[in-house]
Every structure is written in structure tokens, then in C-alpha cells.
Amino acid sequence: MKIIVGEGSCGIAAGAGKVYSAIKEVLPEGVKLGITGCIGMCWLEPIVDIYDGENLVKRLVKVEPKQAELIALAVKNNDIKTIESLFIDEKDMEFLEKQTRIALRNCGLIDPENIDEYIKNGGYEALKKSLFNLNADSVIEQIKISGLAGRGGAGFPTWFKWNAAKISEGDEKFLICNADEGDPGAFMDRAVIESDPHSLIEGMLIASYAIGAKEAIVYIRAEYPLAILRLKKAIKQAEEKGFIGDNILGTDFSCHMRIKAGAGAFVCGEETALIESLEGSRGMPRLKPPFPAQSGYWHKPSNINNVETFANVPWIISEGGDKYAALGTEKDKGTKVFALTGKTNRGGLIEVPMGKTLREVIFDIGAGIRDDKDIKAIQLGGPSGGCIPSNLLDTVIDYKSLSDTGAIMGSGGMVVMDEDTCMVNMAKFFLDFTTKESCGKCTHCRIGTKRIYEILDRITKGEGKTEDIDTLKELCYAVKDGALCGLGQTAPNPVLTTLIYFIDEYEAHINEKRCPAGECTALRKYEIDIEKCTGCTLCARKCPTNAIDGEVKQIHTINQDLCIKCGECYDVCRFDAVKVR
């Protein structure tokens, strides 16, 4: 028997490290204790799996350190029914059953710090197949057959980028992994590196072989310390096994790999800004063309893909490009990983075939909206994406269909919003982010995003003007057309989509000085429902400005001139008598 504790960042944040330590102290003799990465069920962490050999006996969820002794005793006595209260609800298992996991195939199932477990699951067989049975052209042909597109956001054909770097003149070429994942609400790349770093390494080695690169670099943000730690261990283990270094597996192919920790600039997710940062300069985008395939790192031919793209490669080479192409739609093949977050009941890491609808993801996998509230919108693609309203939930997940709504696939952030979300405030949140993350190189992005944010800020404060809507549209299109890189060109998307689908909320903020969702603090008005107020005086006693008047067992009222809209009365009322208008 063995006990496995999920120790991805989500698990550790929920207390998995303490659970592991507590179990270790009471571990029965003959029972193994190990770790794994993120299985994707982030809402159930900490997760503990009990195995009999290679068979999962039971998954325990929301485990606390104080339950370690009960778990140990149940395993020792082979009587796990005694801890039935910790068993995962069978209904929650649908979260995994309704997915198709390729990039995430090993996540939450193997020890990410043990290369032998990766090898036992077929790891590095694809590299061996490439080196001994395929030449570079054949590898690229398999990627072409698969239809794999770059999963970093643009969806550009992977084979085309590889081939462009391969045929570019130059003896020195570079392979770069963009792990600079910076979208709010996105954690796909981090989870893959933390949970299955060798799939990234193997995919990068195969790509390096295909394009003729002798050096591979992972550019990863420094805010991912666990991912960096595990990737360093994995690289060292791969070197010791002969998968990285000179004359790999006795062949003529040599490739070395290193990590570059970025300082967390969102703009460095753009490939040319990333290259500038790699070279030691400030991360600012270059003009294209030339493209990195012709002139990239140190002006040498370079190929850049993200973590998810590379993680798919070993599976494609092992199983064949046609098997991957059988998944998805006619135009968009394979699967896509998403970070499902926000107001959904089951938030976490998911992977689904292209062609699924947003409704299927949110209601079948995500189990709908928390507290039985109505869904209002889905934000796809992070700050570069857009807000898709609930009446478009049957939109198919593929690049064109999502683009037609005004959103984008992006790297895979999927934020679900309910009826209590203010869409104007949401647009302001993302513009605040992109304004701060702009590198400042081009005027349209540096100044244009700032002006857009200022208008949105005024609107949420009740200071909007009728002409603001036309001004916003004009500014948004000017920034899209004039910005140098993808950050500026897509920054207006959250504003434009909310203007299209939620114009009524903008008009309410501007014309009625009212936030329909009650989220904008400056536009809130707290009132007491006379039919529900019992005169308990709790709200009056908690009010920091003495804005609430009323005697014991008498109906209370709120003095709007004194109210600072802190919401304390709303939070403490036990009778649902305080309303937000």
C-alpha cells in the first residue's frame, strides 16, 4: 500500500505540506508515502490518494493534518471505510471523467521529482523513437499531421514554426520555451511544470532535434518557485540518464538545457520581448519581421513555443500525429488545457478536446455556478481576451468561433462570472492590469490604455459622461491599430466586448449613476427593508460612522449623508434586511 499526497501549489497552499508531515509521523510500517502534482481538482485540496500497487483504492479530499492518524490506521488495518467521511463524492469524479488528458496525462498521477516514474509511464520513448527511427523532417511531418497549433494564444501551426527555424541558415540555433505565464487566473503552464516537468523536457528535446538546436532554454517567471525547483531537479535527472547533454543516447544529437527566471513582466510573454529579456535587456518587443525563426535569440534562428505545446509533443510522436488529429474539430485539432476559475462550483485545471462548448465545460465539468446564481459571462484569454455573455454559452471552443465572439482562446484562462459581477468594473480591472504591464515602447499602448482606464474609473465612480462610450470605442480601436505588439493590440478586447454585450450596464452607470450588480462601491446605496428589520440594533452598533438610526425593536434607517458604503451593516445583518441598491 502507498499513500500519495498532492503537492502542487494549490495543494500546498491548502495545507498539503502539513498533511504530508503529519502522515509521515504516524506512517505504518511497510506503507510507502509519496507526493504527486496537481490532479486539477483544486477546489478539493488537500487531496490524498491511497494506492494498492498501481491501483487507486480511494481518493480522500479536503484532508486536514489532524486526520493523519485516522488515515494511517485505516491503511494499516486495511479498513478504509473508517475514513468514509473523507472519500471524494462520486459526482465530483465526473470532473476528470469528462476530460481528455494529453498534455495533463501524468499530472497528479506520478511523482514529479522522480524521473523513474516518468520513464515507467512511457517517458522518453518518444525521444528515442525520434532519434533512432525518425529524421528531423519526419518529426516535423508528424507534428504537421497532428494539426498541433501553438497553445500560447495565437494558435499558429507548430510544424510551420519548427520548419521555418530548421531551414533558416545558421550553424547555431536555439529552442526556447515560453513559460512566462502572466494572465490573471491562469495557471496551466505552472501546473504542468510542477506536476510533470519531464514531459516539457522531452517535448523540448524532440523540438530541438527537429530544428537543429543545441541549446534549449526555459524562460519561466520567478514567481513560480516550486515549478523552477522541480524543473531544475528534472533537468539534472535527465542529464544523469543521458537524455540531455552531448551525444544523447549515443547519437550525434547534442543538446543542453537551462532555465532563465524572468522578473514577472507580462509583456515578456510576447516572444520578441522575451528574447530581449533573455539577452539581458529590458523586455520590450521588437519589430517583426524578421521573425525569431530567422533572427531570434542573439539574432540566431530560434523557435519559441509555450509549455502546453511542448507537453503534447511526446504523446504525438509516440501515438502518431493522426491519432491526435482525430481529436477536436476539422480545423482545430487535439485538446486544450484551461484554468477554470471564478464563480464555478468546481474550479481547477481541465483539458478538453476542441469542439466542446462553453456550456459543457462550465456545467458538465465545472458543475455550474456557485450558490445557484445565474451565470453572466465568461472571460476568456485573460487581459488580451474578451467577455462572452451567457446567451453565447453554446459557442464551440475553437480559435475561430471564440474569435468571432470578440474573445480569444489565449493561453487558457477561463474566468466564470455570475450575476453579481459588474462588467464595467471587470473591464476596468483588466485595463488597470495592462496599463501597468505596458512596457511603454509605443505611444498607443503607453498612453492609450491609460486614457481608457481613466474613463472606466470615472464611470465606476458615477462620474461618467454620455460621450464616454463613443470616446472609449475610438480609443480602443486606435490602440488596437497602432500598438506595436500583442499586448497593446489586444488590451482593448475586454472593453470592446463589454461595450457590445453589456452596454446597458455602461448606460446605467452613466445615466442613472447606478451599478446594476451593486459592485461599484461609489454607486452603492444601502437601505433597510422595513418588512425584514427586527430592530436588533446590531447594524447600528457595528456602523463605524453612526449612520444608522433606530431604537431597540424599532425599524432602523440609514442616513445616506453619513454612510461611507463600507458594507458592514450588510455583512452583520442576520435577517437579510439590509439591501444594496
Pairing of β 32-36 and β 2-6: parallel
**Which three cell numbers mark 105?**
496525462
Q: Is residue 340 part of a domain?
A: yes
- The span from the CA of 388 to the CA of 416, in Å, is 10
Both 78 and 126 in a single domain? Answer: no
Q: What is the pLDDT of residue 581?
A: 80
Are 529 and 581 in contact by the 8 Å Cβ rule? The answer is: no
Domain of 440: which CATH number?
1.20.1440.230
Q: In Å, how far are 197, 199, 218 from 204, measured between CA atoms?
A: 11, 9, 9
Q: For each of the chain's 581 residues, which pLDDT tens digit applies?
A: 999 999 999 999 999 999 999 999 999 999 999 999 999 999 999 999 999 999 999 999 999 999 999 999 999 999 999 999 999 999 999 999 999 999 999 999 999 999 999 999 999 999 999 999 999 999 999 999 999 999 987 789 999 999 999 999 998 999 999 999 888 888 999 999 999 999 999 999 999 999 999 999 999 999 999 999 999 999 999 999 999 999 999 999 999 999 999 998 999 999 999 999 999 999 999 999 999 999 999 999 999 999 999 999 999 999 999 999 999 999 999 999 999 999 999 999 999 999 999 999 999 999 999 999 999 999 998 888 999 999 999 999 999 999 999 999 988 899 999 999 999 999 999 999 999 999 999 999 999 999 999 999 999 999 999 999 999 999 999 999 999 999 999 999 999 999 999 999 999 999 999 999 989 989 988 999 999 999 999 999 999 999 999 999 999 999 999 999 999 999 999 999 999 88
**Which three cell numbers mark 22?**
503529519
Helices (H), 305-384: 307-319, 321-325, 358-359
- The span from the CA of 355 to the CA of 205, in Å, is 30
For residue 144, what are the domain limits?
115-325
Q: Is residue 518 part of a domain?
A: no
- The span from the CA of 470 to the CA of 196, in Å, is 48
Q: Is residue 534 part of a domain?
A: yes
Both 491 and 572 in a single domain? Answer: no
What angle, 0 to 180 degrees and rounded to 10, lies between the N-to-C axes of helices 197-211 and 158-167?
A: 50
Both 121 and 224 in a single domain? Answer: yes
Both 170 and 265 in a single domain? Answer: yes
Domain of 358: which CATH number?
3.10.20.600
* pTM passes above 0.85: yes
Both 347 and 312 in a single domain? Answer: no
Both 395 and 481 in a single domain? Answer: no
Domain of 16: which CATH number?
3.40.30.10
Q: Is residue 519 part of a domain?
A: no
**Which three cell numbers mark 568?**
458592514
Q: In Å, how far are 186, 199, 379, 389 from 501, measured between CA atoms?
A: 24, 40, 12, 7
Q: What is the pLDDT of residue 151?
A: 92
**Which three cell numbers mark 454?**
481613466
Q: Is residue 110 part of a domain?
A: no
Both 297 and 411 in a single domain? Answer: no
The total number of structural domains in the chain stands at 5
The last residue of a domain, from among 306, 325, 344: 325
Q: Is residue 98 part of a domain?
A: no
The last residue of a domain, from among 325, 358, 373: 325
Both 211 and 303 in a single domain? Answer: yes
Q: What is the pLDDT of residue 149?
A: 96
What stretches of 195-281 adopt beta strand conformation (E)?
Answer: 215-221, 256-262
Domain of 575: which CATH number?
3.30.70.20
Both 120 and 249 in a single domain? Answer: yes
Both 320 and 339 in a single domain? Answer: no
The DSSP bridge partners found for residue 260 are 219
Neighbours of 33 (CB within 10 A): 14
Both 291 and 155 in a single domain? Answer: yes
The last residue of a domain, from among 51, 73, 88: 88
- The span from the CA of 44 to the CA of 249, in Å, is 42
Residue 485's SS3 state is coil
Closest CA to 206 of 271, 150, 128: 128
Which residues, other chains included, contact 167 with Cβ-Cβ below 8 Å and sequence gap of 6+?
A: none
Q: What is the pLDDT of residue 60?
A: 98
Q: What is the pLDDT of residue 348?
A: 96
Both 246 and 287 in a single domain? Answer: yes
Q: What is the pLDDT of residue 467?
A: 97
Q: Is residue 262 part of a domain?
A: yes
Q: Is residue 96 part of a domain?
A: no
